[in-house]
Amino acid sequence: MRDLYDNILVTQVSNPATSTTTRTSSTVDMQGFNSLNMLVSLGQAGDTLSGSVYWTLKIAHSNDDVTYVDTVATELSSPNVTVAVNTTTLDKTTYAFGYVGGKRYVKAVATPSGTHSVGTPIGMIALRGTANYSPVN
């Protein structure tokens, strides 16, 4: 099947919510899939973002779903290993991390730095593709 619907599995891995503390997605199990795009979507920050008040976005992975380590550049096809959202021109954006690492389990993590009193809306979605069997839906 050549349509996208039958060839990717879309999973909401973190419900959209306004956050002032670290947000970690639920686990994405890569068994049966050979590609992953992890999306971290931010709404308008309620706090003034700056060099001392910001969010760091990243991907972590694991072989056992217990011990997670941060990905490195060779495990991502996207240009950045981490993204620092430190100005109001960088919120209200969806950031994509293309995972090409070889570990079975993957999570997205959004970590605040500085004092966040109002918070920022954050949601996370996993797009798994290149399935061993299709259709995936």
- Residue-level pLDDT at 48: 96
* Residue range 8-131, CATH number: 2.60.120.1110
Q: Which of 107, 137, 114, 110 is nearest to 36 (CA)?
A: 107
pTM: 0.94
- 95 vs 2 pLDDT, higher one: 95
Provide the 8-state DSSP code for 8. Answer: E
Instruction: Say whether pLDDT at 46 is over 60.
Output: yes
Q: With beta carbons less than 8 A apart as the criterion, state whether 132 and 14 touch.
A: no
Average pLDDT over residues 90-100: 97
pLDDT-based confidence at 137, cuts 50/70/90? Answer: confident
Task: Give the chain's mean pLDDT.
Answer: 95
At 1, the pLDDT band (50, 70, 90 cuts) reads low
So where are the chain's domains? 8-131
CA dihedral 21, 27, 30, 35 (to 10 degrees): -20
Summarised one tens digit per residue, pLDDT across range 69-92 is 999 999 999 999 999 999 999 999
Picking from 104, 110, 51, the residue whose alpha carbon sits closest to that of residue 82 is 110
